[in-house]
Amino acid sequence: MEYGNQLNQYDLTATPEAVEKVLVRARELAPRNETADVYKLCYGCIDLTSLGCTDSDARIGAWVRKAMEFGRHFSGIPNVASICVYPNFVEVVGLAVGDGNMAITSVSGGFPSSQTFLEVKMLETAMAVENGADEIDIVISVGEFLSGEYDRMANEIEMLKNEVGPDTVLKVILETGELKSPELIRKASLLAMIAGADFIKTSTGKVAVSATPEAAVVMCEAIRDYHAKTGRKVGFKAAGGVRTASEAVLYYTIVETVLGKEWLTPFLFRIGASSLANDLLGAIEGHPVKYF
Q: What digits encode the pLDDT tens for the residues 79-101?
A: 999 999 999 999 999 999 987 78
What was the pLDDT predicted at 4?
83
What was the pLDDT predicted at 1?
78
3-state secondary structure of 136: strand
Residue 290 belongs to a domain: no
Flag whether the pTM goes above 0.85: yes
What was the pLDDT predicted at 249?
98
Residue 268 belongs to a domain: yes
CATH number (domain holding residue 223): 3.20.20.70
**Where are the extended beta strands (E) located within the chain?**
46-49, 82-85, 103-107, 135-139, 169-173, 199-201, 235-239, 269-273
Q: How many domains does the chain have?
A: 1
What was the pLDDT predicted at 288?
95
What was the pLDDT predicted at 35?
98
Residue 264 belongs to a domain: yes
Residue 245 belongs to a domain: yes
What was the pLDDT predicted at 103?
97
The residues annotated as belonging to the active site are: 137, 201, 237
Residue 292 belongs to a domain: no
Which residue, 259, 267, 253, is CA-closest to 39? 253
Whether residue 239 contacts residue 272, with contact meaning beta carbons closer than 8 Å, is answered with yes
Domain span holding position 66: 3-285
Whether residue 62 contacts residue 252, with contact meaning beta carbons closer than 8 Å, is answered with no
What was the pLDDT predicted at 2?
86
Which residue, 133, 207, 126, is CA-closest to 174? 207
3-state secondary structure of 288: coil
Residue 28 belongs to a domain: yes
Spans in the chain with pLDDT lower than 70 = none
